[in-house]
Amino acid sequence: MLKKITIEQLALGMHVHAVCGSWFDNPFWSNSFTIESLLDLAKLQGGRVRQVWIDTSKGSDVIAPALAAPTPVVPPAAVPAPVAAAETRSIPERPERPTTGTADELARAARIIAQSRRALTTMFGDIRMGRLIDVGQATPLVDDISASVLRNTGALISLVRLKQADDYTYLHSVAVCAMMVALARQLGLDEDEVRQCGMAGLLHDVGKMAVPVAVLNKPGKLTDDEFSSVKQHPLAGHALLLKSGNVHPVALDVCLHHHERVDGAGYPHGLRGDQLSLHARMGAICDIYDAITSNRPYKAGWSPAVSLRRMAEWTRSGHLDAQVFAAFVKCIGIYPLGTLVRLRSERLAVVVDNSRSLLAPVVRVFFSIRKDMHIPPITLDLMHDQGTEGIAGYEEPDTWNLGDLSHFWT
């Protein structure tokens, strides 16, 4: 049976019979296909297609979407009062695109990141010295990060990804704050809750100040005892925030539960499924994405494309929340800034601006695959060249021995 649905109703397992609109708007070569991955779903939902025809005889039918935020379950002594369950929510249409160009916002974002690093170095240093922190002093920082993300979703999030390994502990918190803000807006949360999600991201790893620096920065594999020490940081951070007082329940929840997993494989309490709140599920996804895309003392970061692909695999295996991850992909973008792509013309390019289109970004072309050589860089807006040019797929910089590509887009 054929059924016409909105793009927001589209879900995994559905068979698309036809895409409504111009074939230029269809990110896939075929007009008939089954949605088999979250990245495929996000490609359609993040583009210009607004309606599709599905064939329910070949795939899933429409189910009314609902994303519940259940009450976190923790040991009775863990928090003074339970975090109330949020109302049932559905993932809304994508918010309006950013109003500030990427180049302009990158300059502002660089200043915000520098200020954030100084502030968090002081805050985390105080924690290591055993001093209680005034969480309220971090509110202006969260507001600055939130405003940057509102002006342009990708600029600060992409720029903070370039942090050095020795800055990881501080700037990881900035990155998670920014992604929590972007994801909260994508999920349609009100602005007060968006701010609380940002604060939760900024504070989620304060417990790492209880872990010896030598263990945090160890370049090799941790021993069992060292790993056990690291796994205590959610509990340590939660206890610290409780002592500090006046910390919102969302921040307490995310600090304690950002390493829990939907399938129960996480820590510190091995919670699963409905035991995890919406905010904890959001925190897990944002924390993982920044961790695996960043250079660490013991491991080079993966590219955004590889990271999203791996996270999609973990989501399919039940590790992460599928609906929250789909929303995350929509706000981060199919081709985040700095992504290396192969064009249909057999040239390599770096994504330099995705603020106007998730599927047809602005790219800087710099390498000819046919000639196996660098070419004078040129900038293409793929929104204007979709008839003759477009993205054929992702590429890994290491495959081409291209080195650092950040100078193309920063």
Give pLDDT, residue 239. 95
**Confidence at 66, pLDDT banded by 50, 70, 90:** very low
Going by pLDDT thresholds of 50, 70 and 90, the confidence category of residue 397 is: confident
pLDDT score of 183 more than 90: yes
Asked if the model's pLDDT at residue 82 lies above 80, the reply is no
Report the half-sphere exposure of 26 (CA within 13 A, side-chain side). Answer: 17
Of the listed ranges 6-15, 34-43, 51-60, the least confidently predicted one is 34-43
Q: What mean pLDDT do residues 246-261 have?
A: 96
Write out pLDDT tens, residues 204-229. Answer: 999 999 999 888 888 888 899 999 99
The pLDDT value given to residue 245: 87
- What's the pLDDT at 99? 61
Report the pLDDT value the prediction gives residue 61, as an integer from 0 to 100. Answer: 83
As beta bridge partners, residue 296 has: 299
Residue 45 — pLDDT band, cuts 50, 70, 90?
A: low
pLDDT tens-place string over residues 112-144: 999 999 999 999 999 989 888 888 889 999 999
Q: Is the pLDDT of residue 324 over 90?
A: yes
Q: How confident is the model at residue 47 (pLDDT cuts 50, 70, 90)?
A: low
pLDDT at 284: 98
How much of the chain, in percent, has pLDDT values that exceed 70?
84
Helix 139-151 crosses helix 168-186 at what angle (to 10 degrees)?
60
Tokens 């955004």 belong to residue: 304
| pLDDT tier at 87, thresholds 50, 70, 90 | very low
| pLDDT above 50: residue 186 | yes
pLDDT digits (tens, 9 = 90+) for 93-109: 444 545 677 888 988 99
User: Which pLDDT score is estimated for 2?
Assistant: 81
Q: Which residue has the higher pLDDT, 296 or 76?
A: 296
Structural domains of the chain ordered from first start:
2-55 (no CATH), 86-332 (1.10.3210.10), 340-408 (no CATH)
Q: Is pLDDT above 80 for 74?
A: no
Compute the average pLDDT of residues 182-196: 95
How sure is the predictor about 31, in pLDDT bands with cuts at 50, 70 and 90? low
Q: How far apart are CA 265 and CA 271, in angstroms?
A: 8
Inform me whether the pLDDT recorded for 345 exceeds 60: yes
Q: Which residue has the tokens 């059924």?
A: 3
Q: How confident is the model at residue 271 (pLDDT cuts 50, 70, 90)?
A: very high
* Residue owning tokens 């290491």: 398
pLDDT band for 253, please (50, 70, 90 cuts): very high
CA 63 from chain center: how many Å? Answer: 26
CB-CB contact of 31 with 48 (8 Å): no
Q: Which pLDDT belongs to residue 203?
A: 97
pLDDT reported for residue 120: 92
